[in-house]
């Protein structure tokens, strides 16, 4: 049944959040959203209470920047007037970098479980660099997939083990390509910019090889395809990781939650954007640090907590 308090505008593109001066709070306030609808017509929606931005780790900083909320020097570069100089918007992009180790399988035919999920299991491990919580997550795929999670080749007889660095030290940025909302943003994850992440993945490959060498794999283990036996020394593995590192699809942090004393924080503990009244960000972009595991459950928690906060404020 249709909900009277919900209206969905599919295939629409947000241009910016409308801001005005707040006479009561001595800062900017969000008053609505300007967007392009499915027919290409520019429209405006006015907010009676607040604007909730939930465009994701890439989209939320992009919308804030397009609205003039972000680092002044970058906004000037793309010709956008700075309304709130907030240096942390689009910074602190953190992800779980990973590589895919691949083996041929002695078993023939496609595992029917691929119809439900390509992931069969996860393993957590410690690298030699780490004494705290596990810093390596190894995902096992019961089919051999390519970087786009498609079968590789179309009828695959193999499996992957993918070590992820789940306590990364590297961080990147999201920046605007231009002032046009239709232009895709510039995403620079800066994977392996901290050498400790490189060493973590090298350790992860060694652990994958140890696992596959165990006797339970004897009946299914075929040839190692990637990295391959030509890559045996640490230096060779480092070179291979640099060429093959990929996203773990767990980006966070580009609208970091924190105190105003933190120069890179964007929202406060109630998810309100610093310097802007009636505007919150509710998605994985607010995570100040990345969980050392999958981010889906943590993102659900953020949404639930935001709902509690809004209800407690008598929405």
Mean pLDDT confidence for 250-271: 97
**For residue 24, what pLDDT is reported?**
78
Burial of 4 (0-12, 13-18, 19+ CB in 10 A): exposed
Active site residues: 250
List of E strands, 142-291 = 158-165, 173-175, 186-188, 221-226, 246-247, 276-277, 279-281
Nearest alpha-carbon partner for 65 in 8, 123, 122, 15: 15
The encoded tokens of residue 311 equal 């209800």
Q: Residues 60, 61, 64, 69: is their CA dihedral positive or negative?
A: positive
**For residue 2, what pLDDT is reported?**
77
Q: Which of 69-73, 89-93, 141-145, 170-174 is predicted with the least confidence, judged by mean pLDDT?
A: 141-145
Which residues, in sequence order, are bridge partners of residue 21? 28
- pLDDT of 102 > 50? The answer is yes
- pLDDT of 154 > 50? The answer is no
CA distance 110 to 119: 14
CA distance 282 to 300: 10
Chain segment 169-207, per-residue pLDDT in tens: 999 999 999 999 999 999 999 999 999 999 999 999 999
Give the chain's mean pLDDT: 91
The H or E element spanning position 204 is helix 195-212
Give the angle subtended at the CA of 288 by the CAs of 80 and 168, to the nearest 5°. 105
CB-based contact 254:89 (threshold 8 Å): yes
- pLDDT of 130 > 80? The answer is no
* Percentage above 90 pLDDT, the chain: 79
CA distance 270 to 39: 36
The H or E element spanning position 206 is helix 195-212
DSSP labels for 21-76? EETTTTEEEEEEEEEE-TTS-EEEEE-SS-EEE--HHHHHHHHHHHTTEE-HHHHH
Task: Provide the pairing of β-strand 27-36 with 42-46.
Answer: antiparallel
């Amino acid at each position: 049944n249709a909900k009277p308090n919900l209206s969905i505008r599919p295939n629409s593109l947000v241009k910016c959040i409308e801001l005005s001066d707040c006479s009561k709070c001595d800062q900017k306030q969000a008053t609505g959203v300007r967007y392009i609808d499915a027919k290409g017509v520019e429209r405006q929606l006015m907010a009676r209470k607040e604007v909730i931005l939930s465009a994701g780790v890439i989209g939320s900083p992009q919308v804030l920047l397009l609205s003039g909320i972000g680092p002044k020097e970058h906004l000037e570069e793309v010709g956008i007037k700075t309304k709130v100089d907030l240096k942390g918007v689009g910074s602190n992009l953190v992800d779980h970098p990973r590589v895919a180790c691949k083996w041929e399988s002695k078993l023939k035919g496609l595992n029917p479980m691929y119809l439900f999920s390509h992931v069969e299991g996860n393993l957590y491990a410690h690298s030699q660099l780490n004494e705290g919580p596990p810093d390596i997550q190894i995902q096992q795929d019961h089919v051999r997939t390519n970087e786009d999670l498609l079968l590789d080749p179309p009828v695959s007889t193999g499996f992957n083990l993918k070590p992820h660095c789940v306590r990364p030290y590297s961080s990147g940025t999201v920046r605007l390509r231009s002032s046009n909302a239709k232009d895709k943003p510039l995403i620079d994850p800066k994977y392996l910019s901290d050498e400790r992440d490189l060493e973590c993945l090298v350790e992860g490959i060694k652990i994958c090889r140890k696992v596959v060498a165990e006797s339970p794999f004897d009946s299914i283990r075929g040839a190692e395809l990637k990295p391959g036996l030509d890559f045996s020394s640490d230096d060779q593995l480092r070179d291979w990781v640099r060429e093959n590192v990929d996203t773990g699809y767990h980006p966070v942090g580009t609208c970091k939650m924190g105190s105003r004393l933190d120069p890179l924080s964007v929202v406060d503990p109630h998810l309100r954007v610093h310097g802007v009244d009636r505007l919150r960000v509710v998605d994985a972009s607010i995570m100040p640090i990345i969980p050392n595991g999958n981010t889906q459950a943590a993102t659900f928690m953020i949404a639930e907590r935001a709902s509690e906060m809004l209800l407690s404020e008598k929405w």
